[in-house]
């Protein structure tokens, strides 16, 4: 199977909503406040608005022979044109984890953001100190640990550090 990253389309948005709807451990995967899930219409409208306003770029990883079925999502956000940097986050549904999809997804994103057109010098990602699969994914892809915010996450009554990783174009 050959994976490609493609921009999020309206056809993928329902799938992303379903992933969020059925994810049992969503609070494990974000340091942001966890809100009740909006209706599907509101969810999709927010995605569309963010894309139009260029607040974030959302990509899905798909099989190049069947682009209608995404296996994961990766999002670029917090663009800083002055510093030529951006942050990214990713999500892979439980049924697709442990199959190398995340590795491919991050690699493909790095190829995209460090090309001539994007003019980025640095990409960053954060994760919780208890999220070992995410830590391994970032480190396998050559990300360096820049620092840690102590007890920054409060997940189900337990405090965890937030780990900050980055990669430079020159890495």
pLDDT in tens, 102-140: 999 999 999 999 986 778 999 999 999 999 999 999 999
Judge whether residue 51 has pLDDT over 90: no
Q: Residue range 26-52: average pLDDT?
A: 83
**Cα–Cα distance, 106 to 103 (Å, whole number):** 5
Q: How many domains does the chain have?
A: 1
Q: Residue range 76-80: average pLDDT?
A: 92
Beta carbons of 50 and 56 less than 8 angstroms apart? yes
Residues of the domain holding 50: 3-168
Residue whose structure tokens are 């995404």: 70
Residues 6 or more apart from 12 whose CB is under 8 A from it?
60, 68, 70
Query: For residue 78, what is the enclosing H or E element?
Result: strand 66-80
Could you give the strand order of the β-sheet that contains 66-80, starting from the edge strand earlier in sequence? Answer: 3-7, 56-63, 66-80, 85-91, 122-128, 158-168, 144-155
SS3 assignment, position 27 = helix
Judge whether residue 31 has pLDDT over 70: no
Rounded (5°) CA angle 11-16-18 = 105
Judge whether residue 95 has pLDDT over 90: yes
Judge whether residue 28 has pLDDT over 70: no
Give the single-character DSSP code of 130: T
pLDDT over 70, % of the chain: 96
CATH number of the structural domain spanning residue 14: 3.40.630.30
Give the single-character DSSP code of 94: G
Q: Residue range 148-166: average pLDDT?
A: 92
């Amino acid at each position: 199977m050959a994976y490609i990253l493609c921009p999020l389309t309206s056809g993928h948005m329902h799938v992303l909503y379903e992933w969020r709807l059925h994810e049992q451990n969503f609070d494990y995967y974000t340091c942001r406040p966890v809100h009740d899930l909006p209706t599907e219409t509101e969810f999709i409208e927010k995605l569309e608005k963010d894309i139009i306003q260029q607040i974030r770029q959302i990509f899905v990883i798909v099989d190049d022979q069947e682009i209608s079925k995404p296996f994961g999502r990766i999002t670029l956000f917090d663009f800083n044109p002055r510093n030529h940097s951006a942050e990214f986050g990713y999500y892979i549904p439980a049924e697709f984890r442990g199959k190398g999809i995340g590795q491919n997804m991050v690699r493909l994103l790095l190829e995209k953001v460090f090309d001539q057109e994007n003019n980025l010098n640095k990409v960053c990602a954060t994760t919780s100190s208890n999220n070992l699969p995410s830590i391994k994914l970032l480190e396998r892809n050559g990300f360096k640990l820049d620092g840690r915010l102590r007890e920054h996450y409060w997940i189900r009554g337990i405090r965890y550090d937030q780990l900050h990783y980055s990669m430079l174009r020159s890495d």
